[in-house]
């Protein structure tokens, strides 16, 4: 992949997961990123306007509409993965075909305001759960067969905080140039 393609595909860089426990102080900024994401998405979507939402952020990339609906789909899946990891020992989570989901008819037919509201409510509920986890619960794990990795809930926090900022940066590529 050439550097320009890499920059468009990963505008904030690739994620780096911690290899040691972060503890409460280390988690604080990631929790804040999850808390801030819904409002940031709303503001960015409003700033870009309707026509730009239908455009891809890069050649071969998703449209702004698809990105917003994808964030709702992906973060719902992560929320359920947390709940599984908190109630089962190292559960195997089910991967899903993100590209196929982005092409389902509800993505084109549903207003983005629906997924933005869903993300707002989901993040509110998810953060209540996250703020009540013990240190031991943060180290609980799930296994993802798609990536063949076992991940702690703390690592998942870092990954999904990055995921939200990653796609927010994609949306910002669609903003009008000043």
pLDDT, tens digit (0-9, with 9 covering 90-100), for 82-104: 999 999 999 999 999 999 999 99
- Per-residue pLDDT at 69 exceeds 70: yes
Mean pLDDT estimate for the chain: 95
Specify if 94 maps to a domain: yes
Quick one: pLDDT at residue 6? 83
Question: Could you tell me which residues come within 8 angstroms of residue 64 by beta carbon, excluding any fewer than 6 positions away?
Answer: 45, 48, 52, 53, 54, 55, 57, 112, 171, 174
CA distance 74 to 70: 6
Specify if 160 maps to a domain: yes
Token reading at 58: 């890069």
Quick one: pLDDT at residue 172? 94
Give the CATH number, domain containing residue 154.
Answer: 1.20.120.450
pTM reported for the whole predicted model: 0.95
Distances (CA, A) of 150 to 141, 144, 155: 6, 6, 10
pLDDT confidence tier of residue 177, bands split at 50, 70 and 90: confident
Q: Which domain holds residue 76?
A: 27-172
Tally of domains within the chain: 1
Specify if 66 maps to a domain: yes
- 130-40-26 Cα angle (round to 5): 35
Question: What is the Cα gyration radius of the chain?
Answer: 16
HSE at residue 5, side-chain half, CA atoms within 13 A, is: 5
Question: Could you tell me which residues come within 8 angstroms of residue 28 by beta carbon, excluding any fewer than 6 positions away?
Answer: none
pLDDT confidence tier of residue 49, bands split at 50, 70 and 90: confident
């Amino acid at each position: 992949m050439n550097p320009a393609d890499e920059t468009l595909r990963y505008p904030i860089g690739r994620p780096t997961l911690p290899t040691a426990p972060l503890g409460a102080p280390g988690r604080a900024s990631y929790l804040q990123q999850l808390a801030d994401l819904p409002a940031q998405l709303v503001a960015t979507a409003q700033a870009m306007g309707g026509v730009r939402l239908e455009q891809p952020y890069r050649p071969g990339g998703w449209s702004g509409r698809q990105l917003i609906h994808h964030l709702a789909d992906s973060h719902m899946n992560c929320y359920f993965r947390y709940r599984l990891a908190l109630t089962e020992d190292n559960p195997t989570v089910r991967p899903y075909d993100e590209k196929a989901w982005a092409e389902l008819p509800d993505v084109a037919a549903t207003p983005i305001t629906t997924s933005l509201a869903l993300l707002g409510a989901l993040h509110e509920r998810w953060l209540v759960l996250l703020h009540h986890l013990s240190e031991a619960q943060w180290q609980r794990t799930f296994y993802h067969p798609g990536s063949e990795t076992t991940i702690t809930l703390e690592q998942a926090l870092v990954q999904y905080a990055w995921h939200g900022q990653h796609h927010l940066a994609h949306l910002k590529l669609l903003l009008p140039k000043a």
